[in-house]
Chains A and B, each alone.
Chain A
Amino acid sequence: MQLLSIEFAIFWFVVFIVYYQFTKYQWQILLIASLCFYFFNAKNFPFMIIIFSVLLWGIGRINNQNRRGVALTVLIAGDVILLAFCKFYSGMHFAIVRNHVPIGLSFFILAGIGYCLDVHWERLEPENNVFKIILFLSFFPALLQGPINRYGKFYEEIFRCHSFSWENICRGLQRVLWGLFKKLIIAERLINITNIIFLNLESNSLSVFFFGVMCFAVELYTDFSGYMDIIIGIAQTFGIKMPENFRRPYFALSVAEFWRRWHITLGAWFKDYVMYAFVMSLPIKKLGKYLRRKNKKLGRMLPTIIGTMVVWILTGLWHGNSVGYILWGLFYGTVICSSLCLENLCRKNDIVHKKSNGKFGKIFCIVRTWVIVFIADMFICADSWNGIKLIIKKFINADFGISSFADQIKSFVSKDIIWALAGCAVLFSVSLVEEQYGNMLILIERKSTLVRWFIWYSLIFIIFIFGVYGTGYDISTFLYQIY
């Protein structure tokens, strides 16, 4: 059952009706609905999420700190092996494994490990009710590709009574519409272009490849953030507030800020459970102390740099096992560490940095971030080692093909690019307004009824008329579903 399907819409509607009919049993209804959704989708491992939840519950219930620590270590090691196996195997036989890897595996594993670590570090009371943990991991809007929930916040949101609220339902549906706009108008149009470009890496010139990378960057953003808008909207119709996963990343002034605005819950997870845990571990602390005695600044910075590199290598591996993803992680790690080292130098010499240099300084920083993100995306687009070698070879041979760029683009670009560009213009304008004045949905709410209805009806018509769906189209699955 795909998220963008009639079956899912009916499923959502039925759950919605039952949910508000029996307000005393809301979380139980969501649990049954989530398990049904999971069983519909998980063809080969229908009990995986239940087994994992029971394990988490059991570990949380161990009173002895040392024993719990051992059990937790075993669980994390097992999860890492399982994830590594699935990623490696899927890299080798992607088409076969896609149907065998348990859905949402890497998302619910991270959420589960987070729960266990919070209990172990006494940030959280262990949960007595195993069914609540099952719901935490399987909550159907977040199951396929996040956001990665934290149990403490999730508990406050989901296990209270949610009375019927028109405001929540309207806002939720508006958010779903906005997500559909991103997915069906922009992402689905761009995927047709990027598929053609990256399938013919050899015959296309570098300029076409760069164009493809830019399309891919926009496609990835609209696909993933569109999905997030849809599921946050769905959850809101149940009165549940999900954590935001995007905050207009393409307005970030630095790469580090970009990653605080992009896939926020994954970044926060790696920061809290990997980076801090690694840097605060005994060997790294000892190293830091030793170095601080020799050179204070170096001793303070080196643990941060080591931690950052470790996190980025792991983030790359989490996304995929190909050379492209590993280089992508290394590239980001290197850029962020370099910026940390250069930060003081830039400040001292008043080189354009952060918020210090007004409008032009900000534009410079934003464009600089785009360039770095596009370079990083090249590793993913080239994908394999052979692809990367091919691109390097074209660089060396200066095969940019600028003069033939227009002709090459013409051969595969259809009306898709026009609708995608128009969609991007709308998206950019909305993002710009949100960056300046806050949430667009709330801004629209303040307008007169006529204006509001005009905006929402226009959006519905645009999606219906210009969206990619229906006979003859095969809506691709959301990109992050494969992670």
Chain B
Amino acid sequence: MQENILRMIEEITDEKVYSAETLLFEEGILDSFKVIELVSELEDHFGIEIDAKYVIDENFCTVSAIKTLITKIKEV
């Protein structure tokens, strides 16, 4: 899952993400516009629906956080 998320972020942003703990906002890799694009990619790829309540910076700040979010949504 982690590899897929990394690939999606790189495809959307054209930026290399070196680790799952890289701070995506602080490093200027993600911003609010890119988050919206990433959400649609994640929904298509993992076949999930990401509700607005989950779209907060804390859930998208690192690749690990995104992975945790997807796992949580899949479990609900």
Q: Which of A's residues lie within 8 Å of B, judged by CB? A: 121-123, 256, 260, 271-272, 275-277, 279-281, 285, 288-289, 292, 299-301, 303-304, 307-308, 340, 344, 347, 354-355
Contact = CB atoms under 8 A, between A and B. Distances in A.
B31 A347 contact: no
Nearest to B35: A276
Contact of A300 (B28, B41, B51, B53): B41
Given A300-B40, A347-B14, A256 B52 contact: no
Given A260-B31, A304-B33, A340-B33, A123 B40 contact: no
Chain A interface helix/strand/loop/mixed:
helix
Contacts of A308: 33
Given A300-B40, A300-B41, A303-B40, A275 B50 contact: no
Q: Is the interface of B mostly helix, strand, loop or mixed?
A: helix
A277 B37 contact: no
B55 A280 contact: yes
27 contacts: A121-B52, A123-B53, A272-B56, A276-B32, A276-B35, A276-B36, A276-B52, A276-B56, A277-B52, A279-B36, A280-B39, A280-B52, A281-B52, A285-B49, A289-B40, A289-B44, A299-B40, A300-B40, A301-B37, A303-B36, A303-B40, A304-B33, A304-B37, A307-B36, A340-B33, A347-B14, A354-B28
B33 to A, nearest CB: 5
Contact of B50 (A280, A299, A303, A304): A280
Contacts of A280: 39, 50-52, 55
Contact of A121 (B28, B32, B35, B53): B53
Nearest to A348: B14
B19 to A, nearest CB: 20
Contacts of B49: 285
Interface in B34-74: 35-37, 39-41, 43-44, 49-53, 55-56
